[in-house]
């Protein structure tokens, strides 16, 4: 199958004619030939989007009219629910049952931001009867959206929906390892009646197509999700243009289990939190910190559950853990497994390729116990089905361990002591924290991280802040004093 760019309402190859090959994770056989975008392709896409911004109807439409189109996009996604899930499953190695959830969430993203934009008010500040100051939310301009390869369709829509809702035309640059599901977006947008030039898609390698989008002078906002190191490069590159940046970056999120917790539910959350979505999940609970009084019991039960996580072909309905995205990423995850063993962590489950899956990027659910903060597996994001377990004695030690990495995306606290739960919630360095719960999202709430996990927040009105400028107009409704200069 061949994938092309989508610019100004037309499917087009790269100006250079160049392409790259994308592999199927379950077999590592070449599956797709994809147009490889460069600065010239990005420029064509940005110019189309800029025309849509300066001359087109989209930024000027009442929010309610844009919302109607977004609801149409949601319906068009739902009509392709199964197809999107199948493409995503084949292209990313995500188990089909979990890929279905992502397609549903993608539709929900558009419905949700349709509601946000149709109910959004703007602010007025009155100064007695003398002055009226009102805020107008203006779409900021062409939005550059750069997305990662994990749950690609859902994450693309997580950016597209608010950017479009705010009135911004967009240029989307999907990840090169998972370009397939984005190829359904053009027909979805057309079916919903989105005006031409508002949605543009440029495939390509990050350092070329992505970097060109960041460097383009007519793109005032970049919303990026990906690795912390890439985020740092993008920040440097965006500095020249003084761009607005929204950065959703890596994580190494702790799940804390105190001995008064409901251990069965904490165990369910720990297993699901790190092995769902193949462990390729930014908010994965990849560090489990357990109070020493229940530590050995918890480790044994976690290892037993991990050993029973069903690893298999992504299309198999019984599969819980599919194939990792790419042989390069597989090798990277395996290098961490080797590092864990070399550094002296205790491997209690997994650690290698499961029987019966000789090809493709399959790794058994892997558990390391007795992991210390000095180890690389404790500090670095592995982004695969590998969890590190560390004991703690006191609340103070639990907090120190929780905060002992450079990341701060999510955290999960399991305890039946309400006061302790809230104490931890105040002190754990994380953008998002769940108490006695797995990662259940409420799209109205701010999503994002602290420290090396990101800058800014998206979600609900926080996303609208990213894609709009708050323009303030001051109106004198009485004669306000004017100091009189120049009277001699």
* Least Å from the CB of residue 197 to ligand NAD: 22
Single residue of 233, 372, 379, 403 touching ligand NAD by CB under 6 A: 233
Residues between 386 and 425 that touch ligand NAD (CB under 6 A): 409
The alpha carbon torsion through 246, 333, 313, 99 (nearest 10 deg) reads: -10
250 binds ligand NAD, rule: CB under 6 A: yes
Question: Is 296 among the residues known to form the active site?
Answer: no
Q: Are strands 346-349 and 124-127 parallel, antiparallel or unpaired?
A: unpaired
Neighbours of 404 (CB within 10 A): 18
149 binds ligand NAD, rule: CB under 6 A: yes
Residues between 28 and 67 that touch ligand NAD (CB under 6 A): none
150 or 390, CB closer to ligand NAD? 150
Which stretch, 63-71, 206-214, 332-340, 437-445, contacts ligand NAD (CB under 6 A)?
206-214
Tokens linked to 250? 């890596």
Find the helix packing angle between 81-92 and 96-119, rounded to 10°.
120
Find the helix packing angle between 96-119 and 460-467, rounded to 10°.
70
Single residue of 160, 164, 180, 214 touching ligand NAD by CB under 6 A: 214
209 or 267, CB closer to ligand NAD? 209
The conformation of residue 353, written as its DSSP 8-state character, comes to P
Single residue of 47, 108, 159, 173 touching ligand NAD by CB under 6 A: 173
313 or 448, CB closer to ligand NAD? 448
Residues between 443 and 462 that touch ligand NAD (CB under 6 A): 449, 454
Q: Which of 89, 168, 282, 388 is catalytic?
A: 282
Question: Is 282 among the residues known to form the active site?
Answer: yes
Neighbours of 292 (CB within 10 A): 12
| Closest to 136 in 3D by CA, of 150, 124, 126, 145 | 124
Q: How far apart are CA 201 and CA 209, in angstroms?
A: 11
Find the helix packing angle between 152-166 and 63-79, rounded to 10°.
160
Q: How many residues bind ligand NAD (CB under 6 A)?
A: 30
Q: How far apart are CA 252 and CA 232, in angstroms?
A: 17
The answer to whether residues 324 and 333 touch, using CB atoms and an 8 Å cutoff, is: yes
Residues of the shown chain interacting with ligand NAD in the complex, contacts defined by CB under 6 A:
146-150, 155, 173, 175-176, 206-207, 210-211, 214, 225-227, 230, 233-234, 248-251, 282, 381, 383, 409, 449, 454
Could you give the residue numbers annotated as active site? Answer: 248, 282
């Amino acid at each position: 199958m061949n994938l092309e760019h989508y610019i100004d309402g037309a499917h087009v190859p790269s100006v250079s004619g160049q392409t790259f090959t994308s592999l199927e994770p379950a077999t590592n056989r070449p599956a797709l030939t994809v147009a490889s975008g460069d600065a010239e392709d990005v420029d064509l896409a940005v110019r189309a989007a800029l025309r849509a911004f300066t001359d087109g109807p989209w930024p000027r439409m009442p929010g309610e009219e844009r919302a109607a189109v977004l609801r149409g996009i949601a319906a068009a996604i739902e009509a392709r629910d199964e197809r999107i899930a199948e493409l995503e499953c084949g292209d990313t190695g995500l188990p089909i049952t979990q890929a279905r959830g992502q397609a549903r969430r993608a539709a929900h993203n558009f419905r949700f931001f349709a509601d946000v934009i149709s109910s959004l008010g703007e602010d007025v500040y009155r100064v007695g009867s003398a002055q009226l100051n009102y805020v107008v939310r203006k779409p900021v301009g062409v939005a550059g959206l750069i997305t990662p390869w994990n749950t690609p369709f859902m994450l693309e829509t997580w950016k597209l929906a608010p950017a479009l809702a705010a009135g911004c035309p967009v240029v989307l640059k999907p990840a090169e390892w998972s370009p397939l599901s984005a190829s359904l977006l053009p027909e979805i947008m057309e079916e919903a009646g989105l005006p031409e030039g508002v949605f543009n898609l440029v495939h390509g390698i990050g350092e070329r197509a992505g970097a060109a989008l960041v460097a383009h002078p007519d793109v005032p906002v970049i919303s990026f999700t990906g690795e912390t190191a890439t985020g740092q490069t993008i920040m440097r590159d965006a500095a020249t243009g003084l761009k607005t940046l929204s950065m959703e970056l890596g994580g190494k999120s702790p799940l804390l289990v105190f001995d008064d917790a409901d251990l069965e539910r904490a165990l369910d959350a720990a297993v699901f939190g790190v092995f769902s979505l193949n462990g390729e999940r930014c908010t994965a609970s990849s560090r489990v910190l357990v109070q020493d009084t229940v530590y050995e019991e918890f480790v044994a039960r976690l290892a037993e559950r991990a050993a029973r996580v069903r690893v298999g072909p992504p299309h198999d309905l019984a599969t819980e853990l599919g194939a990792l995205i790419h042989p390069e990423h597989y090798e990277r995850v395996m290098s961490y497994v080797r590092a864990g063993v070399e550094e002296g962590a205790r491997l209690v489950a997994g650690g290698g390729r499961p029987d019966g899956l000789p090809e493709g990027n399959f790794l058994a659910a892997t558990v390391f116990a007795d992991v210390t903060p000095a180890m690389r597996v404790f500090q670095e994001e592995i982004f695969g089905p590998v969890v590190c377990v560390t004991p703690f004695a006191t609340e103070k030690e639990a907090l120190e361990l929780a905060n002992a990495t450079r990341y701060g995306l999510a955290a999960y606290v399991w305890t039946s002591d309400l006061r302790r739960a809230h104490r931890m919630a105040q002190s754990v360095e994380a953008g998002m924290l769940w108490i006695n719960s797995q990662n259940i999202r409420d799209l109205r709430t701010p999503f994002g991280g602290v420290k090396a996990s990101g800058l800014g927040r998206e979600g609900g009105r926080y996303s609208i802040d990213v894609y709009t400028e708050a323009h303030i107009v001051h109106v004198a409704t009485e004669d306000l004093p004017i100091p009189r200069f120049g009277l001699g």
